[in-house]
Structure 1
Amino acid sequence: MHLLTHPTRQTGPSGTDMYGIYRNMVLFDFKAEIHSGFFVAYYRNFAIPSTARTLAATGEMKSRPMKRSYDTGIVIHEIIANGFAHERSQAMIELLRRVHKGVPGTQDDFVYVLTTMLVLPLRWADRHGWRRLTELEKRAATDFYAELGRQMGLDGVPATFAEAERFLDEYEDRDMGPSPEGAMLLEATAEALARRFPTWLRRFTPTVLALMMDKPQVAVALGLKPAPAALRLPFNAVLRFQALKARRRPLPPEPKFVPGGSLSAYPDGYTLDMIGPRAS
């Protein structure tokens, strides 16, 4: 297990520890930005009709939306925080293999879901972060998801960030669209998302979600009303102001995620056997 460091705010990382670079990006350097990007990735899957049908068929998101939302984040953060060799990470990778075994879908479908977790958080951080990402950081993130894909038994995982972006955009151009299942999943999980917002902002959750999507067609595919163009400028201005404030602050002394720690869905903490679908 790699010991978590507390890096100082810098113009960019150096060195050859690709895993350590990506871990620090997620847990320290760009923790807020990548967290927002993971939200974008989570909802992106509802905009793919075939994936939405598969997710809807399990019943997990409709019956336990808060748990399903947090469990998705816990799985990937456990691996990021602990490293691939750690027993906690291996337990989460085995959970991913088990949950996806027998799930209908092509190899491209599974690679797309993996690629959303790479490309969309980095695009968000690059656009709204306190500094631009470096090519080293993009390579570190790409290497992480290539290894995760390998351990999950996936073929055709992009080897470079440019390839991953191209794969994601071409897949979405081909397969994105509205569906009854996607609309149902959005409705079922909207409350879980709203709970993460300040109370005054919760009534505007659909509009905020539409603004967070980087392509207008994503909001349409989700069944959302496209965000009014007049709101785009102030929305981006708020994010830019937050980035400027972040640039002047020291990095946090503690990581955003602590394995087994307290979360809204698990106020007393969690053990790994609590994560994932309930046994039928």
Structure 2
Amino acid sequence: MTPAEAQKIIWTSSLYDHPMLVEKALEFALFKTYGIESISKLLLKTGQLSKDTNASRRYVDTAVLIQTWVHIPITGPGSGIDDLPIGADPRGAIAVARTNWLHSKYAISNDDYLYTLSLFILEPPKWIEKYEWRGLTPLERQAYFVFWSEIGRRMGINNIPETIEDLVEWCEEYERVNMVPSQTSKVVAELTTALLLYHVPPFARSFGKQVVATLCPERLNKAIMVPEPPAWIAKSVSAVLNLRKLFIRHLCLPRYSPQCYVPFDTTGLGTPGVCPAGVSVCPISGKQGPNGGPVYRLHPFYANNDPWYMSSPSALGQITTRVLVALGVCNPKAALGSQFKPEGYRTEELGPAFFEKSGREEVLANAEAIYGGKITGPWAF
């Protein structure tokens, strides 16, 4: 099985059968890494979690990068595709290259990289088996392993185990040694829990924290110093998820179009930075691409927390949001606009605001090596 074949196999679960749960499994996979003191200490040191807007932007940028790796067709050396398809989308390669550049600014051990990668491989199948209307087939489980292992190689991660069984064994031993109670892990987990509960009304946040704890394994809760939730909450969460499982299995039709956080097919979706006055590129806010044309930007299909990169809402949408905020069922920050870059995002600009325009040459060189050719078209930079 090649990584390109594996990617197409996992699309069945990640885009059609279990998109919401796969997304949440990846979110909790990242959350689980905060139980490792070396990882949580680095995150605190960056300062990207201590300020609300920094934390929410990091959360959204991470989601965009991961979803782009998974859902944009993989190409280039190691993909199993010999020749670069004409018009192949380069965003997946750019997302990996941008991540590599951002990570290069920090001292991260290979074991910490490998542990994070192992959770991306192991957690989605685990969550699907436990909470979804159908489990994965052995072929699908192997596809997760093959695809994510190639992503790891593109990130320069060494010593990736050659089988799922070996990876499970390595991951268990790493957690046994390194996932221990830590004050820094506790702080990072608290900051991230606030993002996970962004859409939960204030009056229900305390209960929401108990639900998050229910979804975390006991070892992680001990590492982040969170007491085990009451048994009745654990049973209630399990009952709700089992009801959801039965409802989807017996009462829902198959999904006929992919559900993806980032645009899967960008035909006609890019937003150029053109001037509404009619000139080709606005002399104030517009920017030119490498070929003299407009710079195209994209918008996520829904807001994970703060509305980063979301299009400005219509007049009706603004009124609806204000009413929901007034009723206390919508976060007040959802009514804000310009500070969250409604013009959209460019993959090569994702990351902390102070890095937004940095590293372009290095990212492009790495992206073209990963992509397997020169990057042209609307996503060139």
TM-score, length-scaled by structure 2: 0.65
Give distance in 2, aligned partners of 1:251 and 1:65.
35
Give distance in 2, aligned partners of 1:191 and 1:242.
25
Q: Does structure 2 retain, via aligned residues, the 8 Å contact 1:66–1:189?
A: no
Task: Report which stretch shifted further, 158-167 or 172-181.
Answer: 158-167
Q: Does 1:56 align with 2:56?
A: no
For residues 138-185 of structure 1, what are the alpha-carbon distances to aligned partners after superposition, in whole Å with 9 as ceiling and x for unaligned? 011101111001111111123332222222211111100222222221
Please give the residue correspondences for 1:150-165 in structure 2 after superposition, counting only pairs within 5 Å: 150-165=153-168
Task: Report which stretch shifted further, 64-73 or 244-253.
Answer: 244-253
1:267 to 300, 310, 326: 310
Distance 1:69 1:24, change over 3 A: same
- Residue 21 of structure 1 aligns with which residue? 9
- How far apart are 1:54 and its partner, in Å? 1.0
- Residue 76 of structure 1 aligns with which residue? 66
For residues 90-147 of structure 1, what are the alpha-carbon distances to aligned partners after superposition, in whole Å with 9 as ceiling and x for unaligned? 1111112112215323321110011111111221111111112110010111011110
More contact order relative to length (CA 8 Å, sep ≥ 6): 1
- How far apart are 1:199 and its partner, in Å? 6.5
- Residue 12 of structure 1 aligns with which residue? none
- Residue 24 of structure 2 aligns with which residue? 36
- Residue 93 of structure 1 aligns with which residue? 96
Give distance in 2, aligned partners of 1:72 and 1:258.
12
Q: Does 1:226 align with 2:228?
A: yes
Q: Does structure 2 retain, via aligned residues, the 8 Å contact 1:47–1:177?
A: yes
Give distance in 2, aligned partners of 1:209 and 1:134.
28
Give distance in 2, aligned partners of 1:276 and 1:130.
35
- How far apart are 1:256 and its partner, in Å? 2.9
Based on CA coordinates, which of the two structures has the bigger radius of gyration?
Answer: 2
Task: Report which stretch shifted further, 253-262 or 167-176.
Answer: 253-262
Give distance in 1, aligned partners of 2:244 and 2:349.
35
For residues 220-277 of structure 1, what are the alpha-carbon distances to aligned partners after superposition, in whole Å with 9 as ceiling and x for unaligned? 2112221122322221111111011111312333413233333323222432244212
Task: Report which stretch shifted further, 138-147 or 106-115.
Answer: 106-115
Distance 1:196 1:24, change over 3 A: farther
Q: Does structure 2 retain, via aligned residues, the 8 Å contact 1:62–1:189?
A: no
- Residue 85 of structure 2 aligns with which residue? none
Give distance in 2, aligned partners of 1:80 and 1:276.
18
Give distance in 2, aligned partners of 1:58 and 1:199.
28
1:258 to 257, 262, 270: 262
- Residue 236 of structure 1 aligns with which residue? 238
Gaps of at least 5 residues in structure 2 are 76-88, 264-297, 312-343, 356-381
Distance 1:91 1:223, change over 3 A: same
The structure with more helix, counted as a fraction of residues: 1
Task: Determine what percentage of the aligned residue pairs are the same residue.
Answer: 25
